[in-house]
């Protein structure tokens, strides 16, 4: 597993990383979709709209099965994750391989990230789940932000609620980025590009810079 040639795709919440990863796969690249295997998007809100999570053991088995399908001579794209994805945990050996791989950090404008989150959770039936998820991070948000988020949800203002959530998630991501010990961190400006164009340019950028090629 340590011989895998990984490329880690990172970026703040709402950067459309999963959509971009799927487009990268359509371009013929190899990917491991950790969130898909875990049935979880990785945040306090990540369980909404997903099937029940597998056990950690089942998650590990599914991950190893996926790795066995891959060509070890070619790069493999993986989304940047925490050690835990919801209630399951990334195996230590694979986690160490991720941490030793180059990180491509996506920079995406705030308004695009907010709109992506609104699109993701726009189903009106999700409001109770959204309230529950905000309560999970109430201590980290603080009472003022939590109350503002609940008011926004009551007014069906998902954009405002998403913006409030990003106050917390951006701080957490930026801190983790500052202490990330990846061998190299490459900042990629996505700006207004659509998902397909971003995927194409990411592949071209990594090939040109030989990222993830040992």
Whole-model pTM above 0.85?
yes
Residue 46 banded pLDDT, cuts 50, 70, 90: confident
**Domain carrying residue 57:** 6-208
Domain contains 97: yes
End-to-end CA distance of the chain: 14
Give residue 214's pLDDT: 59
Domain contains 213: no
- What is the spatial distance between Cα 44 and Cα 85, in angstroms, rounded to a whole number? 10
Domain contains 214: no
Q: In this structure, what CATH number is given to the domain that contains residue 145? A: 3.40.50
Residue 93 banded pLDDT, cuts 50, 70, 90: very high
Domain contains 116: yes
Domain count, the chain: 1
Say whether 10 sits in a helix, a strand or coil.
strand
For residue 95, give both structure tokens.
Answer: 């986690």
Domain contains 1: no
Phi, psi of 8 (to 5 degrees): -95, 125
Phi, psi of 54 (to 5 degrees): -75, 170
C-beta of residue 109 within 8 angstroms of C-beta of residue 192? yes
Q: Which residues of 130-161 are buried (b: 16+ CB within 10 A; e: fewer)?
A: beebbeebeeebeeebbebbbebbeeeebebb
The more confidently predicted of residues 133 and 193 is 133
Residue 211 banded pLDDT, cuts 50, 70, 90: confident
For the four alpha carbons of 84, 87, 113 and 22, in that order, the dihedral sign comes to positive
* DSSP tag of 70: S
What Cα–Cα distance (Å) separates residue 201 from each residue in 12, 23, 51, 193?
A: 19, 11, 32, 10
Domain contains 199: yes
Give the number of other CB atoms < 10 A from CB of residue 58: 13
Rounded mean pLDDT, 86-101 = 95
Give residue 12's pLDDT: 94
Phi, psi of 76 (to 5 degrees): -130, 125
């Amino acid at each position: 597993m340590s011989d895998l040639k990984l490329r880690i795709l990172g970026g703040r919440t709402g950067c459309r990383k999963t959509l971009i990863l799927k487009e990268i796969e359509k371009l013929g690249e190899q990917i491991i979709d950790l969130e898909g295997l875990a049935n979880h998007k990785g945040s306090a809100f990540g369980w909404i709209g997903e099937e029940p999570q597998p056990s950690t053991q089942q998650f590990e088995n599914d991950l190893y099965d996926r790795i066995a399908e891959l060509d070890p001579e070619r790069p493999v794209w993986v989304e940047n994750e925490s050690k835990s994805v919801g209630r399951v945990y990334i195996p230590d050996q694979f986690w160490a391989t991720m941490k030793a791989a180059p990180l491509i950090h996506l920079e995406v404008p705030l308004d695009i990230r907010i709109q992506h989150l609104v699109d993701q959770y726009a189903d009106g039936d999700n409001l109770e789940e959204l309230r529950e998820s905000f309560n999970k991070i109430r201590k980290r948000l603080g009472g003022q932000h939590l109350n503002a988020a609940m008011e926004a949800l009551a007014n069906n203002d998902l954009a405002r609620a998403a913006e409030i959530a990003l106050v917390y998630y951006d701080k957490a991501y930026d801190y983790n980025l500052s202490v990330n010990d990846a061998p190299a961190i490459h900042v990629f400006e996505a700006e207004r590009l659509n998902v397909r164009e971003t995927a194409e340019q990411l592949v071209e950028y990594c090939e040109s810079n030989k990222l993830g090629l040992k």
